[in-house]
Amino acid sequence: MTAIPFTPAIRAPRLAVPAVTTGLALLLAAMACLSLSIGASGLLPWELFTRELNPAERAILLDIRLPRLILGMLVGAALAVSGALMQGLFRNPLADPGLVGVGAGAGLGAVIAIVLGGVMPAAVQAVTGMYMVSLFAFFGGWATTLILYRVASLRGHTSIATMLLAGIVLGALAGAATGVLIYLADDNQLRDLTFWGLGSLAGANWVKVWAAAPVLIAGLAAAPFLARGLNAMALGEAVARHLGVPVEAVKRGAILAVAAMTGASVAVSGGIGFVGIVVPHILRLAIGPDHRTLLPAAALFGATLLIGADTFSRVVVAPAELPIGIIMALIGAPVFLWILLARRATMEI
């Protein structure tokens, strides 16, 4: 990308960006410590060094809470950054990763694995093992995005409007296929489906961390390179192109990054909504819409919010656990409504 001496005419930030970013980083660190320290067992992390722990207690700290924390931070950051990228790409504050079909496709993949998992060829079952649902969700999400991208692209140009409409159509198609499978599902599979859709980090383990982390980190690392282009595209694709922004490359990069991050997130944690909408919105109010600062802040805030919600989810009905998707929607929906109400006079949707 050639250097662009361009800064979009954006409203002055309401809060100092370095202060907000530092504050969010500190908040994330504090929340991470809290998350490691709180759990149904009442075990504290420093007991690892102060006394001899039995295998079950070691497992709680090292094989349950730690991978769960890492996965939670990565998923939260990925979902928030995906949301911010989508809103930048679609120039619409309501855009979320669901618009590129990842959600519906991943949902269909998960349903296929849950309902038809038992009748899959033995080879598929042997290779995927207990991670069949995760793998199918990931590839279902990816496949949907690739189809959408092909549909919306013509002669090297990707039409965002076509993508939006085709996304709705593909979503309906995936929804119908999901409905057929739900109809075929037995009682237990229906319950599994319901819990999958509510989202949870309870299945976190090191295998999932090692599988998902490279994808999530790659997506997060790619996001800052898109920031300048997305800023220019806020003025419209034509203007951005005249400014020398490689518009098609930015679009392609954003779509692929979002598909990868959301697909991997959904695969390891099921359906967790609202992070991608609430986090970027709150941050735009706080530090303005410049993607160069918005994206890192969204990653920090998304990670904090998700592990906060996860910590809450596992203590509120301890020793049982409330699915995290419920908590995110319980927090997210009212906050989002409040933002809408507070800004409806000035906001054009």
Partner 1 sequence: MSRLLLGAALALLPLGAAAQERVLAIGGSVTEIVYMLGEQGRLVGRDSTSTFPAEVEALPDVGYMRALSPEGVLSVSPELILMESGAGPAETLDTLAGAGVATVTVPDDYSPAGVLAKVRSVAGAMGVPDKGEALAADLDAQMQAALAKVAAEDGPPPRVLFILGNSGGRLMGAGTDTAAAAMIELAGGTSAIDSFEGYTALTDEAIAVAAPDVILAMERGEGASSHGDDEYLTHPALAQTPAALGGHVVRMPGTFLLGFGPRTPDAIAALHAALYPDAP
- The encoded tokens of residue 344 equal 């409806």
Residue from 1, 10, 16, 56 in contact with partner 1 (CB under 8 A)? 56
Choices 59-67, 89-97, 164-172, 229-237 (CB under 8 A): range interacting with partner 1? 59-67
What is the rounded distance in angstroms from the CA atom of residue 305 to the CA atom of residue 73?
9
Contact indicator for 147, 108 with CB cutoff of 8 Å: no
What is the rounded distance in angstroms from the CA atom of residue 152 to the CA atom of residue 133?
28
Choices 91-99, 103-111, 139-147, 311-319 (CB under 8 A): range interacting with partner 1? 311-319
Residue from 4, 27, 124, 202 in contact with partner 1 (CB under 8 A)? 202
- Residue number, 60 or 260, with CB nearest to partner 1: 60
101 backbone dihedrals φ, ψ, rounded to 5°: 80, 0
Residue from 26, 29, 30, 59 in contact with partner 1 (CB under 8 A)? 59
Residue from 21, 41, 92, 162 in contact with partner 1 (CB under 8 A)? 41
Residue from 28, 31, 36, 39 in contact with partner 1 (CB under 8 A)? 39
The sign of the torsion formed by the CA atoms of 240, 243, 246, 250 equals negative
| Bridge partner residues of 158 (DSSP) | 153
114 part of the interface to partner 1, by CB under 8 A: no
188 part of the interface to partner 1, by CB under 8 A: yes
Considering only the C-alpha atoms of the chain, give the largest distance between any 2 of them, rounded to a whole number of Å.
66
Contacts of 223 (CB under 8 A, 6+ apart): 81, 84, 85, 257, 295, 299
Residue from 60, 89, 111, 282 in contact with partner 1 (CB under 8 A)? 60
Choices 34-42, 99-107, 135-143, 327-335 (CB under 8 A): range interacting with partner 1? 34-42
What is the rounded distance in angstroms from the CA atom of residue 168 to the CA atom of residue 2?
35
Contact indicator for 230, 290 with CB cutoff of 8 Å: no
- The encoded tokens of residue 83 equal 């949301």
Residue from 109, 149, 208, 273 in contact with partner 1 (CB under 8 A)? 208
186 part of the interface to partner 1, by CB under 8 A: yes
Phi-psi region of 230 (alpha: psi -120 to 50; beta: other; left: phi over 0): alpha
What is the rounded distance in angstroms from the CA atom of residue 32 to the CA atom of residue 25?
10
What is the rounded distance in angstroms from the CA atom of residue 28 to the CA atom of residue 308?
9
40 part of the interface to partner 1, by CB under 8 A: yes
191 part of the interface to partner 1, by CB under 8 A: yes
- Residue number, 128 or 153, with CB nearest to partner 1: 128
319 part of the interface to partner 1, by CB under 8 A: yes
State in angstroms the smallest separation of the CB of 97 from partner 1: 24
What is the rounded distance in angstroms from the CA atom of residue 18 to the CA atom of residue 39?
33
What is the rounded distance in angstroms from the CA atom of residue 265 to the CA atom of residue 216?
8
Residue from 55, 119, 345, 349 in contact with partner 1 (CB under 8 A)? 55
**Stretch 224-263: interaction string toward partner 1, x if CB under 8 A:** ----------------------------------------
Q: DSSP letter string over 30-46?
A: HHHHHHHH-STT---TT
Residue from 14, 19, 29, 42 in contact with partner 1 (CB under 8 A)? 42
116 part of the interface to partner 1, by CB under 8 A: no
323 part of the interface to partner 1, by CB under 8 A: yes
State in angstroms the smallest separation of the CB of 173 from partner 1: 23
- The encoded tokens of residue 135 equal 């793998």
Residues that bind partner 1 (CB under 8 A): 39-43, 54-60, 63-65, 129-130, 183, 186-188, 191-192, 195, 200, 202-205, 208, 314, 317-321, 323
